[in-house]
Amino acid sequence: IQMTQSPSSLSASVGDRVTVTCRASQTINRSLNWYQQKPGKAPKLLMYFTSNLQSGVPSRFSGSGSGTDFTLTITGLQREDFATYYCQQSHRAPYSFGQGTKLEI
Amino acid sequence: EVQLLQSGADLKKPGATVKISCKVSGYTFTDSFIHWVQQAPGKGLEWMGRIDPEDGDALYADNFRGRLTITADRSTDTVYMELTSLTIEDTAFYYCAPGDTLVRFDPWGQGTLVTVSS
């Protein structure tokens, strides 16, 4: 299953609302996770099964979608949100990732 | 607290083999599969494979099948990832992470940098 994210990079400002899109090459129902990665760090799970916030993740993060099209939305960007975001399908192995979206100031 | 502690950075020559360890703590070792993910410098994430520590059953991505072996040692709660016939393209960070029934990877190990250079 191929996962395609858009955009590859995104410039935004503190306080903005941004949306990242992830598209699967075939239906994955709602089996879609999102990760955040900061430079020099391991990825961190943000959201699972499309719209469920991982414990400790701020509520400004939200997710939606089903089938093949999914979105990650950050409402009210904070400085600490500038990072790279990856989607990952958990429908079946191999558990492929999107190519990443770099969110820059 | 769940923690995954990986072995340190390694430098290998082309054609060599690397073996990375991932020691698990904070939960019952056999409760979750352990997955491995590759990330070349400045690039994205690629799922490599996973193991069920309960019975040692391993599943590999096509891109690595034939070169990759993942094993688990229940006596030390440690998973090993061995990659053979290394090329320069295998220069990357390698991460381990437990995956539950929803196949959500959390938390991740700190990563191990493998550099392949002649």
Would you give the DSSP letter of residue A80? G
* Sign, CA torsion B82/B83/B84/B90: negative
**Per residue in B9-31, is it b (16+ CB within 10 Å) or e — as a string?**
ebebeeeeebebbbbbeeeebee
Give chain A positions within 8 Å (CB) of B106. Answer: 44-45, 54
Give chain A positions within 8 Å (CB) of B37. Answer: 43, 97
| pLDDT value for A11 | 97
State the Cα–Cα distance between residues B109 and B116, nearest whole angstrom: 21
Judged by a CB distance cut-off of 8 A, whether residue B36 touches chain A is no
Instruction: Tell me if A62 sits within 8 A of A70, measured CB to CB.
Output: no
Write the pLDDT tens digit of every residue in B24-46: 999 999 999 999 999 999 999 99
Ramachandran area for residue B34 (φ above 0: left; ψ -120 to 50: alpha; else beta): beta
| pLDDT value for B102 | 87
| pLDDT value for A69 | 98
Residue A105, pLDDT > 90, answer: no
Residue B6 is inside which H or E element, if any? Answer: strand B3-6
Task: Return the residue of B nearest to A32 by Cα.
Answer: B104
> How far B8 CA sits from the closest chain A CA (Å)?
14
Q: What is the mean pLDDT of chain A?
A: 97
Give chain B positions within 8 Å (CB) of A94. Answer: 47, 61-62
- Cβ-based contacts under 8 A for chains A and B: 61
Note whether B95 contacts A42, CB cutoff 8 Å.
yes
Note whether A42 contacts B109, CB cutoff 8 Å.
yes
| pLDDT value for B101 | 87
Write the pLDDT tens digit of every residue in B65-117: 899 999 999 999 999 999 999 999 999 999 999 998 889 999 999 999 999 99
User: In angstroms, what is the C-alpha Rg of chain B?
Assistant: 13
* Sign, CA torsion B56/B47/A43/B12: positive
Task: Return the residue of B nearest to A45 by Cα.
Answer: B106
> How far B35 CA sits from the closest chain A CA (Å)?
10
Largest CA distance in chain B: 41
Write the pLDDT tens digit of every residue in A64-101: 999 999 999 999 999 999 999 999 999 999 999 999 99
